[in-house]
Amino acid sequence: MSRSLSAPAIRQEESKAPPAFATDIDAFIGYLSLERGLSVHTRVAYQNDLDQCARFLAKRGAADWRTVAGDEVTAWIHALSGNDYTVASLARKLTALRGLARHLVREKLRGDDFTELLIGPKLARHLPGTLTPEEVERLLAAPAGGDAYAVRDRAILELFYSSGLRVSELTALTLQQVDLENGYVRVFGKGAKERVVPLGDKARDALITYLDAARPRFVKARTGSQLFLSERGRAISRITVFVLVKKYAKLAGITKSVQPHLLRHSFATHLLSGGADLRAIQEMLGHANIATTQIYTAVEEQRLLRQHAEFHPRNRA
């Protein structure tokens, strides 16, 4: 069954795909929106990648996606490798192309997957940075005082560390998503997937204080049900949260580059080192694939190696 949805108005005239290719690209982008719930940012990136590929293939004489051969898309990948694209960008372009190929097979527009034999660039495995428990304690204590801003900011930091939320998830929270009585938040993550994440006692207490003593100070005539508010009475922005986290990290005397995502990494790493089950951590983080969560086992392994090297008597000179 063919599905169609108007693609985002993102194409510039000079960069759009030839019409014979564009129809299938638009249908695929529509599928990603309706069926997969991918973000606009991801769909825009995939659209640009596929338009770029289509222009390359058309110049080589390809008529449309349904007649493209594997060696033609291999030539595109090789051509990209000669430019200044990062490995991550190349990998994303190949992911977009593979997704389109599978979509064509699924819709019975092709009998084969023309990307099946393609080999993409390997992404280097970067271990996420973390804060130590002591650094986290200093950071959480940094918003000092009882004014509305400090109370709000303490609640934000406590919730970050207690629940491992993404910054986009935290800033999008509404009052209805917070269950203080049972101690959890209902989160809508990537692809609009819903999950329930525990609050923890200290985060719960910080939220209760914020809701009672601070949030009313930020409420304006047109304020909605957003949980964390700016001074204008609107949902606090991701940029503001980034600035706040960096500000309090500096006040806490932390020399590492601290961003909201570092608290998410610290949440997962500290749970794992405390004995939490990897599957439970995966569920709390909202990872679709356990392999994404497993990177934290490598972080813990590196920590143990450092501890062994530093403290084992046989390692001392």
Q: What is the pLDDT of residues 106-152, one digit of tens each?
A: 999 999 998 887 766 655 555 567 899 999 999 999 999 999 999 99
* Residue 162 and residue 46 in one domain: no
Average pLDDT, the chain: 85
* Residue 50 and residue 143 in one domain: no
**What angle do helix axes 70-81 and 40-59 make, rounded to 10 degrees?**
110
* pLDDT for the residue 3: 37
* Residue 170 and residue 270 in one domain: yes
> Taking a C-beta distance cutoff of 8 angstroms, is the pair 173, 266 a contact?
no
For this structure, is 264 an active site residue?
yes
Q: What gap in Å lies between CA 238 and CA 229, rounded to an integer? A: 12
* Residue 27 and residue 160 in one domain: no
Beta-carbon contacts of 40 under 8 Å, excluding residues fewer than 6 positions away, are 8
Catalytic hit among 102, 186, 287, 303 = 287
For this structure, is 184 an active site residue?
no
Is pLDDT of 13 > 70? no
Beta-carbon contacts of 247 under 8 Å, excluding residues fewer than 6 positions away, are none
For this structure, is 287 an active site residue?
yes
* pLDDT for the residue 85: 80
Q: Is residue 237 part of a domain?
A: yes
Q: Is residue 195 part of a domain?
A: yes
Average pLDDT over residues 81-105: 86
* Residue 176 and residue 260 in one domain: yes
For this structure, is 166 an active site residue?
yes
pLDDT, tens digit, 9 for 90 and up, residues 155-175: 999 999 999 999 999 999 999
Domain count, the chain: 2
Catalytic hit among 152, 264, 265, 270 = 264
* Residue 58 and residue 148 in one domain: no
Q: 0.75 exceeded by the pTM?
A: no
Domain end call among 106, 123, 146:
106
Average pLDDT over residues 219-237: 95
Q: Is residue 7 part of a domain?
A: no
For this structure, is 296 an active site residue?
yes
* pLDDT for the residue 54: 94
Beta bridge partners of 186: 196
Catalytic hit among 166, 234, 312, 314 = 166
Q: Is residue 2 part of a domain?
A: no
The percent of residues above 90 in pLDDT, for the chain, comes to 52
Backbone angles phi, psi at 187, to 5 degrees: -115, 140
Average pLDDT over residues 31-58: 89
* Residue 190 and residue 252 in one domain: yes
The percent of residues above 70 in pLDDT, for the chain, comes to 85
Q: Between 286 and 252, name the one with better pLDDT.
A: 252
Catalytic hit among 190, 195, 238, 303 = 190
* pLDDT for the residue 7: 42
* Residue 85 and residue 146 in one domain: no
Average pLDDT over residues 68-72: 87
SS3 content of the chain, % helix, strand, coil (to 5): 60, 5, 35
* pLDDT for the residue 6: 40
